[in-house]
Structures are given as C-alpha cells and as structure tokens.
Chain A
Amino acid sequence: MAEHKEETGSVGHIAPAKLYVAIWAILMALTLTTVLVSMVDIGPMNVVVALVIATIKGTLVVLFFMHLRYSPKLTMATVIAAMFWLFLLLSLTMTDYLTRAWSTSPGH
C-alpha cells in the first residue's frame, strides 16, 4: 500500500497473483453466463441481464485490474463522480422516454 506517492495509480500496489487469477476466472464465468442467457428468450429482461452482468464485470476490472480498490480516496471520488454523472444523464433522459407514451395527446 504505502509505495511511492506519485505512482499510486499504476504500480503502487501489487496484489497476489492468486487474486488476479480469481478475478479472471469470475470474468470468464460471467462472460459464459452472458452467452448462455442470450440463448434463452426472456423478453426485455435479456437486455437487463446482459447490462447487469457487464456492469459487474466492468466494476471488477476497475476495482482490481485498474487498482481502484487500493487508490487514494480522491481517485475513488473522481471515478464515483463520473459514474454518478452518467447515472444523471441516463436516468433523467429516461424520465422522457419512459413517460412519453403516458399522455394521450401528442406534445402539449
């Protein structure tokens, strides 16, 4: 943990190889799940499942392979801010798309 201060982002932390292998195995298992689920028709849930699995995989990569878990709080805050802003973009845009069909008269 307490390595050179400037290098915390890249080589600051060296995790045991076992951990990397375990994460890799989880990622592979999740990929396999995505492929298998895509063969079953569960309607609109297909997209939801695929996106949830992809999000979990992305999170694992960022936390372990990109060392976010061992990074300073400021780096974490930066990543969380980026995710939060993406959430704002998606959720507020969806307020339009999810409710557009509710009104019977088009427009105003």
Chain B
Amino acid sequence: MATAVQTVERENYLNSNYGIKSWLLTTDHKRIAVLYLISITAMFWLGGFFAMMIRLELLTPAGDLVSSDTYNKLFTMHGIIMVFFFLIPAVPAVIGNFVVPLMVGAKDMAFPRVNLLSWYLYMAGAITALTAMVTGGVDTGWTFYTPFSTTYSNTHVIGAAIGIFIAGFSSILTGLNFIVTIHRMRAPGLTWRRLPLFCWSNYAAAIIMVLGTPVIAITLLLVALERAFHIGIFDPRLGGDPILFQHLFWFYSHPAVYLMILPGMGVISEIVACFSRKRVFGYEFVALASIAIAVFGFLVWAHHMFVAGISVYAALVFSLLSYLVAIPSAVKVFNWTATMYKGSISYNTPMLYAFGFIGLFTVGGLTGIFLASLGIDVHVHDTYFVIAHFHYVMVGGGVMAYMAGLHFWWPKMTGKMYPEAWAKLSALLVFVGFNTTFFPQFILGYMGSPRRYHAYPPEFQVLNVLSTAGASILAVGYVLPMIYFLWSLRYGKDAGPNPWNATGLEWMTSSPPPTHNFDETPVVTWEAYDYEHQPQEEITVGH
C-alpha cells in the first residue's frame, strides 16, 4: 500500500496496484466509480445506437428501414437501456461514487464491499436484460404496461423485467451507502449546513432509491408472475386491474425522473459556484429544495395516467400536486441565476454544459407543467410533445449535467486535463444538436403526431428530417468527448490538485487521489463555497 513504487510519481488509486483482479475485487470507491464509468458508457453507446436506428427509420414517412415489430423493439430497448442502465446510475454511481467520500473527507464509502456488490448487481442486471434483447427483444415500451406485457406480448418480457429487478437492488445498495456515508462519515467540522450541495442532492436521490426502487422491483416481478402463472393482479378477468400496474409503476418511475435529475442539479450547483467565484445564493434553500423535490416527487405519479381511465377526482388532485414540484425546481433555477449575478464568470467547458442544463431543464420543466394540466394533457398525451418534454429533462438536464460533472471532475479522477478547445466545441455541438433534435418534436406533438409509430403522414416529414439531422450533430457531440478523454489519459497536461481553484475537500488532495484519499483527516472550519472569503492559498493547499 504505502510502498513507494516510483520516486517520481506519487502513489495514487490508479497505480497502487495493477492487474485485472485488483480492479474486479477492489473496494476502493474510486475504482468502483471507474468500473461504473466504463460499463455505463458502454450502455450509453448501445442505447444511442438504438436511438440512431429510430431516427433513421423516421427520416422518411414510410416504414421502410425496419418493420413495425422491430421498431417497437428498438424504442423499447432504447428506453430500458437509457433509463435503467444509464440515466439512473450515471451521476450517482460514477461521479457520486468517486466524489462524495472525498467531499465529506472520508477514506471510503460507509460500506465498501456493499459498494462493489452494487456494481456486480448492476452488471448482472444489465447482462440479464441484454440477454433478453439479444435472444429476441422486448416490445412493450420501457413502461411494461399491462395487459399488453402480461397477456399479449410475445417477446422476452420476463427476462427484461428480471434484469431491471436485479439492477434495482444495485440502486438500493448505492442509495443506502450514500445515506449512511453522509450521516456517519463526515469529517470533523463538516456540519450539514457546510455540506456541499452535491452531497445534499445525492442524499435526496438516495432517499428515492431506497424508498422507491423496491416498489418497481416488486411490480415488475408481479408482471413476470402474472405472465407465467396468471395470478390475477392486473388481469380483470381474474379480478385484477390493469391500471393498478400504472399506479405501482409510476409510484417509482416518476420519482425516478427526479432521481436522474437531482444528482445532476448537485453537479450544476458545484459548477455554477466555482465558475462564478461565488457562494451559491440561498444555500439552505437549494439544499432543502433537493429534499422537497424528492418528497413531492412521490405525490404526483398519476399525471401519467390522466387518459388511462382513472377517476377524474384523483386526476384533479394529482394535477394540483404536480404543480407543487415546480416550486423547489424553480427555487434551484432562480438561485443558480442569482449566484451568477455579479459573479466573476469564466466560460470553461463545465460551465458551458451548466448553462445548457439550466436552459434546457427549464424548458423541460415548464413543458412538464403543460402536461400536468388536465386539458392540455388530453390533447398532447402520447404524442411527440411528451417525447420532447422528457428528453429535455432527461437528456437536456440529466445527460448535460453528467457531461458537465465528467468534465469538472475528470482532472481529479485522472490527474489529466482534457483539451479545452475541443471540449468547448463538443459542448456547443451537444447544445445545438440537442435542440435541433428535440425542439421540432414539440411542434410535431402539438400537431398531433403520435409516439411509437414507425410510419407517419408525409406532412410531418420536414420536422422529422430536422430531428434526425439534429441527432447526427448530437452524436458527433458525444463521440468527441469519448475521443479526447481517452486522448487526455496519455497526452493531457497534468492537472495538479486543484485546476479550477475550487473549494471543497475533494480539491485538497492530489489528483488522482491516493487510495486512502487524504493523508490526514481534514478538519473543516469554513462554509461551503466560501469563494469570497477563503484566502486563495488556503484553497490550493495540498499536493
């Protein structure tokens, strides 16, 4: 461990030992984060491949590239992979795993072995779901709606459901680890009010993981059981109710949207403060808004079901409650903006992604308000308007924040700087490509183009071509970072411990950090984001 391998290079988590076994049996949170990074990136490209197939099919009005059955499988697999195997684990399992223990000044997560177990469960779930896809695919949509999934679909529903069930436990264990780590492992002096907002938002996300995931896991198990043994939970002929599935499914899957966005919001808080050189405006409100979003997120699920045949009175209640979530979300957006006000802003790549996040998330959030109102929802339900809305939140919000965080902490993770000019170009391409892809879909949806069809009337072609063209730009924007991140591992400039001159304990240790994170347990005597009062020398100490 402490044996000096070389005199020149400081011992760190990457060079402390070598070999495949040292990675597959590691309990170091930083190595587990890297394992997640690799596996999640693979899933992202696979999900992206399915997305490109969808967009290519929609280039022309006729269903000419793939059959309607294949198309159903393509959008289902795109959804399952992107939601369950990329977006949900992306920020918490990669960036959170790496950064949270460093941020709280701990040597590791509270349960390092459980942390490794959660990666193995993720892999087992992913392999199970991929097996279902390779051996014939699933065509239910990522939502597995009954009675189609339980009775009529002839595809590998059970395999995919079990894959997600297993991956759910990975999520629960990660959440548990975050909760216990943040409660128990904080460095002396690091009170809740001094905790970085990234930790707060991961804590809020962990609440959703621990309390929500069991419900989706058991619901999908019920689908599998109903399919195999006709137990009559969802089948009305056996006394069940198909809409009950939607209640149970969305009880988790709506909060899951916040699970995807909350850790991302934490990333944005860190970046906005750092590149504005200011303390986050209204720190307490931003912190508590995370918890509020996590809790309110559980009160709104039936807004997915307004036209499914639920009671109109229940629909009224859920519509009203859905508006509530806008309040803490708006608190965050306004406070980030207020943080930037009169700040000393620098336009580095993470900040460019953060700008993109704030704008796109706002569009996604506001169109969510449209969809929460009963009248408009009846008109645009199951159209491309919905597709555009949730891609603005999940891709425009979630993926933008993931990219922002990856660029922000890449120097910490690898000790190397990425090429700034290329990175700025890619951020620009992602922003332009994203809007070209998804903005036309708002118009398509408003004009009545339904989702989940492989053919469409010719008058919709111009907007669809625009969307497919945008997707190609977006793809280039995502390929570029893949190339320059790999390039930077070998040719990148040395980052030093704190290239951004940021506050936060993770910047006070070397890059890449040593296996035990800190040579001495840090003692915190300052507020979070103390960019205005903290003397620069104090921020940049460490080696």
Contact surface of A with B, Cβ cutoff 8 Å: 74, 81-82, 85, 88-89, 92-93, 95-100, 102-103, 106-108
Q: Count CB-based A-B contacts (< 8 Å).
A: 53
Is B312 an interface residue when CB atoms closer than 8 A count as contact? Answer: yes
Q: Other than A89-B248, A93-B247, give 20 A-B pairs with Cβ distance below 8 A.
A: A81-B207, A81-B211, A85-B211, A85-B212, A88-B299, A89-B215, A89-B251, A92-B299, A92-B302, A93-B244, A93-B251, A95-B311, A96-B302, A96-B314, A98-B311, A107-B307, A107-B309, A108-B306, A108-B374, A108-B378
Q: Name the 9 nearest CB pairs between A and B, nearest first.
A: A96-B314, A99-B313, A100-B311, A99-B311, A95-B314, A85-B211, A96-B310, A93-B247, A96-B311
CB distance from A16 to the nearest CB of B (A): 31
Interface range for B: 20 to 34
CB distance from B323 to the nearest CB of A (A): 16
**Given A89-B251, A93-B247, A96-B243: A103 and B299 within 8 A (CB)?**
no
Determine the residue in chain B with the shortest Cβ distance to A84.
B211
Contact B309 A95 (CB under 8 A): no
**Given A95-B317, A96-B243, A108-B378: A102 and B311 within 8 A (CB)?**
yes
Q: How far is the CA of A64 from the CA of B314 in the complex (A)?
A: 38
Contact B211 A103 (CB under 8 A): no
Contact surface of B with A, Cβ cutoff 8 Å: 183, 207, 211-212, 215, 243-244, 247-248, 251, 298-299, 301-302, 306-307, 309-314, 317-318, 374, 378
B interface secondary structure, majority: helix
Q: How far is the CA of A96 from the CA of B207 in the complex (A)?
A: 26
Q: How far is the CA of A81 from the CA of B291 in the complex (A)?
A: 13
Contacts of A93 in B (CB 8 A): 244, 247, 251
Q: How far is the CA of A97 from the CA of B311 in the complex (A)?
A: 7
**Given A92-B299, A93-B247: A108 and B313 within 8 A (CB)?**
no
CB distance from B202 to the nearest CB of A (A): 17
Contacts of A99 in B (CB 8 A): 311-314
Residue from A74, A81, A89, A103 in contact with B311 in the complex, judged by beta carbons closer than 8 Å: A103
Determine the residue in chain A with the shortest Cβ distance to B300.
A92
Q: How far is the CA of A96 from the CA of B378 in the complex (A)?
A: 18
Contacts of B247 in A (CB 8 A): 93, 96
Q: How far is the CA of A81 from the CA of B374 in the complex (A)?
A: 31
Can you report 21 residue pairs joining A to B where beta carbons are below 8 Å apart? A81-B207, A88-B298, A89-B215, A92-B299, A92-B301, A92-B317, A92-B318, A93-B244, A93-B247, A93-B251, A95-B311, A95-B314, A95-B317, A96-B310, A96-B314, A98-B311, A99-B311, A102-B311, A103-B311, A106-B309, A108-B374
CB distance from A14 to the nearest CB of B (A): 25
The residue in A81, A96, A102, A108 that gathers the most chain B C-beta atoms within 10 A of its C-beta is A96
Determine the residue in chain A with the shortest Cβ distance to B313.
A99
Q: How far is the CA of A43 from the CA of B207 in the complex (A)?
A: 39
The residue in A98, A100, A102, A106 that gathers the most chain B C-beta atoms within 10 A of its C-beta is A100
Contacts of A100 in B (CB 8 A): 310-311, 314
Q: How far is the CA of A97 from the CA of B215 in the complex (A)?
A: 19
CB distance from A18 to the nearest CB of B (A): 35
Contacts of A95 in B (CB 8 A): 311, 313-314, 317-318
Contacts of A107 in B (CB 8 A): 307, 309
Contacts of A96 in B (CB 8 A): 243, 247, 302, 310-311, 314
Contacts of B243 in A (CB 8 A): 96
**Given A81-B211, A88-B298, A92-B302: A108 and B183 within 8 A (CB)?**
no
CB distance from A101 to the nearest CB of B (A): 8
